[in-house]
Amino acid sequence: MLTIALAKGSLLKDSIKLLQSIGLDFSAFLEPGCRQLQIIDPTGTAKALFVRNGDVPVYVEYGQAQLGIVGYDVIREKTPNVAQVLDLKFGGCRLSVAVKASSPYRSSLELPLQGRIATSFVHCSREYFDGLDLPVDIVPLHGSVELGPITGMSEAIVDLVATGNTLRENGLVEIDTLFYSTARLIAYPLSYRLNTYDLQTHVQRLSDVLTAQTP
């Protein structure tokens, strides 16, 4: 049976809507009080796993799920051995460097040598600042990274930004963008190559839906 890893959080509703467009219904995950971790589609042809965002590529990389839907930001941070097969176009955001609005820094290159950068995107941040040849101290945080500059623990943060409201409400401003992110369909490479569970047909049907939605 085809298995699809779906991420908890902001991508879930759009992921389920997209899969419904090709006849796969996992909307039970959206029901209030739902505690199920896996659901079999009513057609009996596929099931979905309900996992943490960062765990989606892990389930796909190890072949426990043949497909997964996850943000490009997670793929860049985790660098899993998976096939990226489709850009799904929803869940748009950007990974940015931000500082206090009162800070004198207005670009990453103006940050001090060995300055502290608070982030949950340790790999992406290290790669970015290494590319600038700017030695910094990466401070790993998980949640409320905005407090880094506010408390004085860090000069800047690297975090996902969608609307920018959270930054503004906490007196922070973006000074640089590392990359833009959208939801991606990923596949277990061996299953995709061997077309296990008619995987390529499902991918093509999703691609057709996305093409039809493009203005």
pLDDT tens-digit map of 1-27 = 999 999 999 999 999 999 999 999 999
Structural domains of the chain sorted by starting position, each given as residue range(s) with its CATH number in brackets:
2-91+182-213 (3.40.190.10), 93-180 (3.40.190.10)
The rounded distance, in Å, linking the Cα atoms of 213 and 156 is 38
In whole angstroms, give the CA distance from residue 32 to residue 81. Answer: 34
pLDDT of residue 34: 84
- SS3 state of residue 76: helix
Local confidence band at 178 (pLDDT 50, 70, 90 cut-offs) = very high
Q: Report the candidate in 71, 63, 82 with the shortest Cα–Cα distance to residue 8.
A: 71
pTM, entire model: 0.94
Look at residue 213 in the predicted model and tell me its pLDDT: 85
CA distance 49 to 19: 13
Q: What stretches of 48-105 show up as alpha helix (H) in DSSP?
A: 56-61, 72-78
pLDDT in tens, 28-49: 999 988 889 999 999 899 999 9
pLDDT at 215 over 80: no
